[in-house]
Amino acid sequence: MSVFTDSDRYFFHQGKGYEVYKKMGSHIGAENGVNGTRFAVWAPNAKKVCVVCDALGWDNEQEMEPSYDGIWELFVPDVTTGDAYRYAIYDSEGERRLKSDPYSFRYELRPDNASVICPLREYKWNDGEYQSRRNNKVVIDKPMAIYEVHLGSWKKKYKDEDDPDGFLNYRELGDELAKYVSHMGYTHVELMGICEYPFDPSWGYQVTGYFAPTSRYGSPDDFRYMIDTLHRNNIGVILDWVPAHFPKDDFAMGKFDGTPLYESADPLRAEFPIWGTYAFDHGKPEVRSFLISSAFYWINEFHIDSLRVDAVAAMQYADFSREQWRPNIHGGHINLESTNFLRQLNCDLTTMTNGYLLAEDSSVEQGITNDVHIGGLGFVLKWNMGWMYDTLKYLSYDFHERRYHHGELTHIADYAFTENFILVLSHDEVQPEKASILHRMPGSYEDKLGGVKALYTFQFTFPGKKLLFMGQDYAQDDEWDVLKSLDWSVAEEFSHRDVQRTVRSLLSIYKENTVLHQDSKNPAIFEWVNRDFADANIISYIRKNPWNYDEAVLVICNFSPWYHNDYSCGVPLNNGAYTRLFSTYDNLPGCGGPGELGGYPKLYAENNPCDNRPFRIRYGLRPFESIIIKFPKS
């Protein structure tokens, strides 16, 4: 007897089976008074499909029952939680393939790869108060400062022969992350490499288990505890999710029933050569049901706040990483099937769940964060890859050379309001052979540290949400190594602790000042004061609400090692005291921080025009000093 209703089948084959994971895969229960597990798998071109299980002996095939629409089912008595299983799939030629279950909720710890029977729901959640406050409709108006984490290399315990990886459990990670992230003041954690994957150096971006948190750090309920703990500390959780491609491992989804099932049958669209992976066929309704139900699964069953969709550009362009490619029906290079999939995903997920989607997108296409009904893709936010590339490129030049590249830095404002952006300094920029953020900077070690603090001041005051990869907030010396823990001993050194305190102060100021976190596509929230001081490596700008200066702040970033003892900056008002909120020198002894000499001195505007404004303030700007100044009430 099938557990699939006619409605289940209809929506699955229409690409709208968003809760199909509740029927596909393995589900523990009782039938006719007998305890066991019911299995279901989609393999429409198979000649025969069997369940094989360690509890019954791997050679003992349990033949499944076919249906007219390619879904195979079977109830197997006396197998239950913790038992490993696979599907033995016989293709049309009778060749046998052993496959793990694409809908499995858990897998063996790599290098083993069998599916593991696991209940869908057992965990008792304690994040009700957090959930009651969630509202994905107002994300753009709220602070978002993301701490990007790779769990396996954030911290490790002592490794030995019995535990060569030294991974912490999800529960340990949840407790420690909640403490650190709360102390620093981040609003969200973004998790890399959670969906099960076989190859550590892929960082989790070659997924074989779209419904299973990786077993590297524990069980699905351990992972739920981690999310629960973060939520109870008012920390949102973002999950990296990869619907563009999947690896070619024999046990996984490739040629699942002997034919291209999840991947495209078109050889010009079937693969991404750049990654050596298969490309999902987003035009196939059953593939859309698989992927969108995975998104619903993480949000509904694990309380994930948001999914960060990886490699959006790869899905948008039919010619992405391909020398030979198939044009669309109009002769163009946009992959219409994939873009329609993204629109469907965004529209239905934000309408039917309390989650939302972020785009990791390097394309030049406009409208990634526009609503679907006006032709956009419907993402809430998009990674600003241009800001990351252009800023780091500018900062890599010697101080005297930067004058010739100043436009690369200031050009960022010309497109800052075309999308709803996140300003990212992500894992991509500190991976092996790219160097750490610290060592992208020229000059002495002290210069590099000063440059990092100036960069972070720029990031946390420029329009857009914020993201820092782990280790960057204390300026780790070494580039990131997925096989090693962060070097936390560096954070104990005074100069690096100073960087960490700077980030903590910036996080606080960012959250407390509405003009710094109410981002929109309205250019009136940003105003250049001087974008042309190229010789000095200095930029200055104002963040304000669109109508007045009541809550405005002035930001001055000095990216050079040069003193400006009488630096003048134009301002529009002369009706009260300007208050210095922050300086990158705040934590350095004897440098006039808020705790010294009675706090910050007030600044008063002079009736001298400057920077095309009627008044000016003067300030002794020190090497690499970047400051935030609060306007008087207008």
Stretch 294-314: mean pLDDT = 97
Q: How far is CA 511 from CA 247, 306, 474, 508, 575, in A?
A: 40, 20, 20, 5, 26
CATH classification at residue 531:
2.60.40.1180
Q: Which of 116, 132, 167 is the last residue of a domain?
A: 116
| Dist CA 3 CA 73 (whole Å) | 9
| Dist CA 179 CA 229 (whole Å) | 10
Q: Is 426 part of any domain?
A: no
Q: How far is CA 203 from CA 206, 241, 305, 480, 591, in A?
A: 8, 12, 21, 11, 42
| Residues, the chain | 634
Letter for the amino acid at 101? D
Q: How many domains does the chain have?
A: 2
Q: What is the pLDDT of residue 597?
A: 44
**Cα angle at 209 between 254 and 316, to 5 degrees?**
65
pLDDT band at 432 (very low <50, low <70, confident <90, very high): confident
Stretch 322-333: mean pLDDT = 93
Q: What is the pLDDT of residue 209?
A: 97
Q: What is the pLDDT of residue 361?
A: 94
Query: What is the average pLDDT value for the chain, to the nearest integer?
Result: 94
Whether the Cβ atoms of residue 36 and residue 77 lie closer than 8 Å to each other: yes
Q: What are phi and psi of 247, to 5 degrees?
A: -75, 165
Residue 172 has pLDDT above 90, yes or no: yes
Question: How would DSSP label each residue in 280-311?
Answer: B-TTSHHHHHHHHHHHHHHHHHH---EEEE--
Q: Is 126 part of any domain?
A: no
Whether the Cβ atoms of residue 84 and residue 116 lie closer than 8 Å to each other: yes
pLDDT band at 599 (very low <50, low <70, confident <90, very high): low
Whether the Cβ atoms of residue 356 and residue 349 lie closer than 8 Å to each other: yes
Q: What is the pLDDT of residue 519?
A: 83
Question: How would DSSP label each residue in 4-73?
Answer: --HHHHHHHHTT--TTGGGTSEEEEEEETTEEEEEEEEE-TT-SEEEEEEGGGEEEEEEEPBP-TTSEEE
Stretch 376-389: mean pLDDT = 95
Q: What is the pLDDT of residue 111?
A: 95
pLDDT in tens, 198-209: 999 999 999 999
Q: Is 78 part of any domain?
A: yes
| Dist CA 284 CA 288 (whole Å) | 6
Residue 394 has pLDDT above 90, yes or no: yes
Q: What is the pLDDT of residue 434?
A: 86
Residue 85 has pLDDT above 60, yes or no: yes
Stretch 337-355: mean pLDDT = 95
Q: What is the pLDDT of residue 134?
A: 84
pLDDT in tens, 488-512: 999 999 999 999 999 999 999 999 9
Catalytic (active-site) positions: 310, 360
Stretch 275-291: mean pLDDT = 97
Q: What are phi and psi of 591, to 5 degrees?
A: -110, 15
Lowest-pLDDT range of 169-173, 208-212, 600-604: 600-604
Q: What is the pLDDT of residue 548?
A: 79
Among 104, 92, 10, smallest CA distance to 51 is for 104
Residue 595 has pLDDT above 80, yes or no: no
Q: What is the pLDDT of residue 593?
A: 60
SS3 content of the chain, % helix, strand, coil (to 5): 30, 25, 45
Cα atoms found within 13 Å of the Cα of residue 608, Cβ hemisphere only: 7
Tokens of 74: 């079977």
Stretch 119-136: mean pLDDT = 91
Q: Which of 116, 147, 166 is the last residue of a domain?
A: 116
**Rg (the chain; Cα; Å):** 27
Residue 535 has pLDDT above 60, yes or no: yes
Q: What is the pLDDT of residue 135?
A: 80
DSSP 105: S
Residue 127 has pLDDT above 80, yes or no: yes
How many Cβ atoms are within 10 Å of 50's Cβ, its own excluded?
A: 19
Chain position carrying tokens 């669109």: 546
Q: Is 532 part of any domain?
A: yes
Lowest-pLDDT range of 51-55, 99-103, 362-366, 459-463: 362-366
Q: Is 27 part of any domain?
A: yes
pLDDT band at 598 (very low <50, low <70, confident <90, very high): very low
Q: Is 23 part of any domain?
A: yes
CATH classification at residue 91:
2.60.40.10
Residue 440 has pLDDT above 70, yes or no: yes
What range does the domain containing 597 cover?
A: 523-630
Q: What is the pLDDT of residue 200?
A: 92
Among 250, 284, 248, smallest CA distance to 266 is for 284
Q: Which of 79, 98, 116 is the last residue of a domain?
A: 116
- DSSP-based three-state secondary structure for 153: helix
How many Cβ atoms are within 10 Å of 223's Cβ, its own excluded?
A: 25
Q: What is the pLDDT of residue 588?
A: 78
Q: What is the pLDDT of residue 414?
A: 93
Q: Is 239 part of any domain?
A: no
pLDDT band at 160 (very low <50, low <70, confident <90, very high): low
pTM for the model stands at 0.95
Whether the Cβ atoms of residue 256 and residue 46 lie closer than 8 Å to each other: no
Percent with pLDDT over 70 in the chain: 97
Task: Spell out the residues 6+ positions from residue 267 whose beta carbon is closer than 8 angstroms to its own.
Answer: none
pLDDT band at 466 (very low <50, low <70, confident <90, very high): very high
Q: Is 402 part of any domain?
A: no
Q: What is the pLDDT of residue 81?
A: 96
Q: What is the pLDDT of residue 590?
A: 64
pLDDT in tens, 542-593: 999 887 788 999 999 999 999 999 999 999 989 889 999 999 999 877 666 6
